[in-house]
Amino acid sequence: MSVKDKPPRSRSRLIANILFSIAGLFLLINLLFPQLFGNPIPRVPYSLFIDQVEDGKVSRVSVGQNEIIYELKGEEGQPGQYLRTTPIFDLELPKRLEAKGIEFAAAPPPKNSWVGNILGWVIPPLIFVAIWQFFLGRAGGGGPQGALSFTKSKARVYVEEDANKVTFDDVAGVEEAKAELAEIVEFLKTPQRYKAIGARIPRGVLLVGPPGTGKTLLAKAVAGEAGVPFFSISGSEFVELFVGAGAARVRDLFEQAKKKAPCIIFIDELDAIGKSRAGSGFIGGNDEREQTLNQLLTELDGFSAGDATVIVLAATNRPETLDPALLRPGRFDRQVLVDRPDLAGRLKILEIYAAKIKLDVDVDLKQVATRTPGFAGADLANLVNEAALLAARNQREKVTQADFYEAIERVVAGLEKKSRVLNDKEKQIVAYHEVGHALVGAVMPGGGKVQKISIVPRGMAALGYTLQMPTEDRFLLSESELRDQITTLLGGRAAEEIVFGSITTGASNDLQRATDLAERMVTAYGMSKVLGPLAYEKGQQTNFLGDGMMNPRRMVSDDTAKAIDEEVKEIVETAHQKALAILKHNRDLLEEIAQKILEVEVIEGEELQNLLDRARLPEQVPATV
């Protein structure tokens, strides 16, 4: 291929390389072979020059600022040899030369050779042109890291030919979302079928759901099923230090997408640029994030009929923070909930990821799915990987059921800290504390099944733990079930009071969770007979069960705030008294299980169930305080 046949960017890069090579060659020759660029004159010490002056051997001298060049007297009318030396600070030199009758003068300005002229006038412009060509090549297509590319879109493009193509078969547990997005795929494949009857496909689809539920994976699957280019970018990549750079990137992204239509633009973490402008503190549109959002709104409105095959998918786990202008019909017309999977969904997800590892014959993925309620797709992927790592660490060739169970505990409670050695007193307190949780949880009607009791420290601060798993997926909880949960949380503190007559700091996390749950019962769920069915928490909270979001209270009067505090205290104190009553009624069993766990440190499985089956509720438990 000749130079003319090469693409423009390749040709520019070739020219830049040639110019760099020429400049480097001239500089190298000038440094290594200076004699090629002028007549070489031998250099002598200054002391020798003075001796030759005193001996009358010098005929003329040219005194320069940095160098003295002089001519020796020749023999029989022949020209003498030229020598040079480096001058020193010598004020007596002119008097010496004049006393000896030596002709001397100041040296004329140095004259560059033709090679020096080339180096001084030709090479620097060539280097400048080469550097300019280099930066233009980087900005034009050399990647988003180019110095001149801060206004270029940083979107990554995935095409159908990619080896790691994702389809709907790679996504599980979100069947409703897949069915909703299947229509988008059909439109991208056969747009004329919809246009023929006047239907308009949604321009924007917003994927909403908790973190780790597979929103990004689902968007890639849509592109993979449709077989169209897929532009992927995070919302934070639009925002730059320079005001206007984000808006320029939005324009560049949509221009690239229109050239490759039909295609999909996927914006992850849309809330990074799409937050509500109300109360942002910036007026007049001078905020970089606000300008970026305005440009995005303009681009979403600017699709013409020919550009309708560019579909924008976006994902966020905070839809309540988005600007209302972004969610109106005509922009993001449709919101698709990508929620945490149920039991069947978790089983399908486990089957997808487990197909990539070697499983032992005893592995029952349904049991694993049953033990992982509330796990999102990313959590299950991490669980499978942890199980595989455990098997490899223990020199096993296949992953066993025990590896999965240990991986669940690692994800839920953290790593074992056997190096954290407790003294005998602390170990005894932890044992009674965890058995207290287990006994109360075992007799509570709304509680889950206690799977394991351990006094081996795990994670950052857990000195022991009780593993309690729900027997089924739950989406609604009654008031009595919430009270039972609070009672179970306070079982550890109650056991410390009964056995030791004092309390420790070990129940701090239990108290925090119990208080938070009681406060939500009063302020969010309206489960207070005194305050009635009123919500005292601020609105705009997500609908995901167990997301842990705690919204501040509304502005309430002092009397109402006092009533809320009294109701929260009543709920927690009633649960506390109930836990005390249960443990006092089962005091012998509490002692038996605690002594056993002090010996073996871990009790689980059938042995634990046989012990907990002997626990009984007292005939009378406090209903209210």
Q: Is 546 helix (H, G, I), strand (E, B) or coil?
A: coil
User: Which position has the higher pLDDT, 348 or 224?
Assistant: 348
Name the band, by pLDDT with cuts 50, 70 and 90, for residue 588: very high
| % the chain with pLDDT above 70 | 75
Q: Would the CATH topology of 39-112 be identical to that of 343-413?
A: no
Q: Is 5 helix (H, G, I), strand (E, B) or coil?
A: coil
What single-letter DSSP state applies at residue 552? P
> Which of 3.40.50.300, 3.40.50.620, 3.40.190.10, 3.40.630.30 is the CATH number of 156-337?
3.40.50.300
* Token digits of residue 431: 């044992």
Of 5-14, 186-195, 248-257, where does mean pLDDT reach its minimum? Answer: 5-14
| pLDDT score, position 544 | 37
Residue 449 CB-density burial (10 A; 0-12 exposed, 13-18 middle, 19+ buried): middle
C-alpha torsion sign, points 438, 444, 448, 449: positive
Angle at 359 between CA 353 and CA 365, to 5 degrees: 60
Query: Which of the two residues, 201 and 418, has the higher pLDDT score?
Result: 201
How do residues 142-151 score in pLDDT, each as one tens digit?
444 444 454 5
Q: Note the CATH architecture for domain 424-612.
A: Up-down Bundle (1.20)
Contact 260, 159 (CB under 8 A): no
Query: Across residues 397-404, what is the average pLDDT?
Result: 92
Whether residue 262 is predicted with pLDDT greater than 50 in this model: the reply is yes
Enumerate the domain spans of the chain. Answer: 8-35+115-141, 39-112, 156-337, 343-413, 424-612
pLDDT of residue 511: 93
Phi-psi category of residue 474: left, alpha or beta, with phi > 0 → left and psi -120 to 50 → alpha = beta
Residue 559 in tokens: 């009397």
- Amino acid residing at 58: V
- Residue 434 bears catalytic tag: yes
**Is residue 47 pLDDT above 60, yes or no?**
yes
Closest of 212, 174, 549, 216 to residue 337, by C-alpha? 174
Report which of residues 246 and 347 the model is more confident about: 347
Report, at the CATH architecture level, how domain 39-112 is classified.
2-Layer Sandwich (3.30)
- Choose the catalytic residue: 180, 434, 496, 567: 434
Residue 118 reports pLDDT greater than 90: no
Burial 326-347 (b: 16+ CB within 10 A, else e): beeeebbebebbbbbbeeebbb
Query: Is the pLDDT at 418 greater than 70, yes or no?
Result: no
CB of 510 within 8 A of CB of 493?
yes
Confidence of residue 141 (pLDDT cuts 50, 70, 90): very low
| Segment of 2-16, 176-190, 296-310, 555-569 carrying the highest mean pLDDT | 555-569
Q: Name the CATH architecture for the domain at 343-413.
A: Orthogonal Bundle (1.10)
Work out the number of other CB atoms within 10 angstroms of the CB of residue 504.
15
- Alpha-carbon torsion, ordered 420, 421, 426, 431, to 10 deg: 80
Instruction: Identify the band that residue 317 occupies on the pLDDT scale cut at 50, 70 and 90.
Output: confident
Q: For strand 332-337 and strand 449-454, is the pairing parallel, antiparallel, or unpaired?
A: unpaired
Rounded mean pLDDT of the chain? 78
The per-residue pLDDT for 285 is 45
- Would you place residue 410 in the very low, low, confident or very high pLDDT band (cuts 50, 70, 90)? confident
